[in-house]
């Protein structure tokens, strides 16, 4: 079965991500629930295949932002853009599970599926994505920092200025965070699964 965005994700991945270990990471993603998992429990793309589609949407937004920010030539390779855009949320693979609950519809109770979190590796969000990717292939420092801080303020630790420093020193981190916000709140909220990025 082809879930939303799976073929497109794999095509972009194989075209641009060619460093050593990339094939092993793609194999791990294929064996995990990455292509069938939701992007969230109830917010954006909380549906089967949502995580993959969100990853493609973020990649497209990031590519567009890079082209606009650097019209004379992007300092980041196509591979770096694909790594950051497609893989920023690999921490959500094997993260959700589906359960059933009773919901009242037209006066009668019906069983409906819903997603819950089943965290097996409590390692944070962006840092968990970096950890998983690094098990298979090496990240460049700007890629690792961008993925680590792609959640922006949601990833900030009170009293720690690391995120602020990361955004000052690594423009790619700012652009990935922006691409994630745009995909989540512009592409995925209004269209319920249809990307127009």
Q: Is 147 helix (H, G, I), strand (E, B) or coil?
A: helix
pLDDT in the model for residue 3: 58
Cβ count near 16 (within 10 Å) = 19
pLDDT in the model for residue 190: 52
pLDDT in the model for residue 77: 96
Residue 1 maps to a domain: no
What domain count does the chain have? 1
pLDDT in the model for residue 195: 42
pLDDT in the model for residue 106: 86
Tokens linked to 168? 């000052």
How far apart are the C-alpha atoms of 80 and 141, rounded to whole Å? Answer: 11
Residue 76 · residue 82 · CB < 8 Å: no
Residue 197 maps to a domain: no
Domain that holds residue 10: 6-191
Series of mean pLDDT values for 10-residue runs along the chain (197 residues): 78 98 98 90 79 95 97 95 97 82 82 76 88 98 96 73 91 96 87 41
Residue 77 maps to a domain: yes
Residue 89 maps to a domain: yes
pLDDT in the model for residue 156: 66
Q: Enter the pTM of the model.
A: 0.85
pLDDT in the model for residue 197: 36
């Amino acid at each position: 079965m082809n879930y939303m965005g799976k073929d497109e994700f794999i095509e972009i991945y194989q075209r641009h991500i060619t460093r050593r270990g990339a094939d092993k990471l793609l194999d791990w993603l294929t064996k995990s629930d990455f292509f069938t998992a939701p992007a969230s429990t109830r917010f954006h793309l909380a549906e089967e295949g949502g995580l993959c589609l969100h990853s493609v949407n973020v990649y497209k937004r990031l590519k567009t932002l890079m082209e606009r920010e650097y019209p004379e030539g992007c300092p980041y390779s196509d591979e770096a853009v694909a790594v950051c855009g497609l893989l920023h949320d690999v921490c959500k693979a094997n993260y959700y599970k589906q359960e059933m609950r009773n919901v009242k519809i037209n006066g009668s109770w019906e069983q409906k599926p819903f997603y819950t979190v089943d965290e097996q590796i409590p390692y944070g969000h962006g840092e968990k994505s970096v950890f998983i990717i690094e098990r298979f292939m090496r990240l460049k420092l700007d890629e690792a920092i961008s993925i680590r801080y792609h959640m922006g303020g949601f990833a900030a630790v009170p009293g720690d200025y690391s995120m602020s420093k990361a955004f000052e020193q690594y423009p790619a981190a700012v652009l990935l965070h922006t691409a994630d916000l745009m995909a989540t709140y512009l592409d995925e909220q209004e269209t319920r699964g249809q990307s127009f990025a």
